[in-house]
Structure 1
């Protein structure tokens, strides 16, 4: 883990006529504090859809059942349990000759599936398996950290401290003093005020990529992120006094 640069934006606001404004009706300073931290991911979620077509509805549905059964057997060999798999209800749609001729020519059965990996040891092998299955579509993988809650709690504190520091600097530059906190939010804004100043929420981004250990000696392969960036934003409105 390494601490990334903390940045913030601050604005000084005085309001007079606020009969139709969402802004506070007293002198205030609005600041946005941010904190980021790069962490190595240790878990992932894979989402995809099994989709089968056949001339008859039962054949399409049975094909989805079979592929799902084969998938569960494969996942079990890679340490994935039933509780790590979340499958939605199977959906069936009729296929027609064309938009004008509504003669049914076959059926399509599909089932969205989500797989949670509590460790990344077999991520590449599972993704490689899914990519090579002819009737698996819309494959997406996302990464996360099992320490997210603890890290984000610390980031919230750092972002709050950053916001106060920015507010103190801005107030001092204008010859005023900070008073009490009027409002504070984490990762969201204050109605129209948020739109005016472009408040942003927490985000996850991906860093440099690397090959997985299990594929290190192979040819071209899937890659895992070296890190993900956890981000917290704190928006604060301080009352100010001369």
Structure 2
């Protein structure tokens, strides 16, 4: 019985020593800030993909589709510098899962297109969606002054955290002291979960038609605004 009691005491002592909690009165709050801005740039990711009975045929098909893409983009005043192309991939096509006889080949090339303005966004999306050998098309929107906006959001999130902490402390009859910790990334174990910045989250606002360069343009929309969000976690020491 004596040895059992001793073991429990040692275990409890070890748990206390490993605790991530501060050893003084504190309050942990999350400040948040949000800003809606009109996007002025976009990034479009897609894949050129072609199949053929031979590896050369499939690869040449990707080359030809790439040349057509460059010709179209140049007609919109977009240079090759806006494109980031990965290495071409080649895969064998088999008859089925059991019969591994090669029946052909598939070549593909991931492409990233960065648009510094949205003037031709809808026309470009029209082109990409109507090309039979272009797949996996995804768009994301951003603003060229994101860094300046994030500085403003960080300041507002910090002010919001202090306001929340002050109100909570006053409700308990105590006052805020100094800041013990403030972070933009995860930390403090399970104390605050995802402790830190939310990574500059982007969510879309209302959608609107950007242009009418083609007969299909009415079906394609771009966001009228995007919502930038920041959250920041702060630990304040408390005075009685």
Considering the TM-score relative to the shorter chain, is it more than 0.5? yes
- Separation in structure 2 between the aligned mates of residue 184 and residue 227 of structure 1, nearest angstrom: 30
Structure whose CA Rg is larger = 2
- Separation in structure 2 between the aligned mates of residue 157 and residue 110 of structure 1, nearest angstrom: 45
8 Å contact from structure 2 (residues 122, 211) kept in 1: no
- Separation in structure 2 between the aligned mates of residue 217 and residue 64 of structure 1, nearest angstrom: 27
Equivalent residues in 2 for 1:56-95, closer than 5 Å? 56-95=54-93
- Separation in structure 2 between the aligned mates of residue 217 and residue 111 of structure 1, nearest angstrom: 28
TM-score by length of structure 2 reads 0.88
* Aligned counterpart in structure 1 of residue 176 of structure 2, from 170, 173, 178: 178
2:31 is aligned to 33
In the alignment, structure 1 segments of 5+ residues that lack a partner are: 1-16
| 1:221 maps onto 2:223 in alignment | no
Shift of 1:39: 0.1
Q: 1:209 to 1:62 in 2, by over 3 A?
A: same
TM-score by length of structure 1 reads 0.87
* Aligned counterpart in structure 1 of residue 139 of structure 2, from 132, 138, 141: 141
1:11 is aligned to none
Shift of 1:213: 3.2
1:168 is aligned to 166
- Residues matched between the structures, number: 226
- CA deviation map 1:181-211 (0-9, x unaligned): 1111136453312328898543110011111
8 Å contact from structure 1 (residues 38, 229) kept in 2: yes
Q: 1:126 to 1:160 in 2, by over 3 A?
A: same
Of stretches 60-69 and 183-192 in structure 1, the one that deviates more from structure 2 is: 183-192
8 Å contact from structure 2 (residues 84, 112) kept in 1: yes
Deviating 4+ runs (over 4 angstroms): 196-201, 215-219
Greater helix fraction, Structure 1 or Structure 2: 2
| 1:154 maps onto 2:160 in alignment | no
Shift of 1:216: 9.9
Equivalent residues in 2 for 1:113-132, closer than 5 Å? 113-132=111-130
Q: 1:199 to 1:191 in 2, by over 3 A?
A: farther
Please state whether the residue corresponding to 1:67 is helix, strand or coil.
helix
Shift of 1:25: 2.0
| 1:47 maps onto 2:61 in alignment | no
- Separation in structure 2 between the aligned mates of residue 142 and residue 197 of structure 1, nearest angstrom: 26
1:12 is aligned to none
Please state whether the residue corresponding to 2:219 is helix, strand or coil.
coil
1:8 is aligned to none
CA RMSD of the aligned region, Å? 2.1
- Separation in structure 2 between the aligned mates of residue 199 and residue 121 of structure 1, nearest angstrom: 32
1:195 is aligned to 193
8 Å contact from structure 1 (residues 189, 235) kept in 2: no
Q: 1:103 to 1:145 in 2, by over 3 A?
A: same
In the alignment, structure 2 segments of 5+ residues that lack a partner are: 1-14
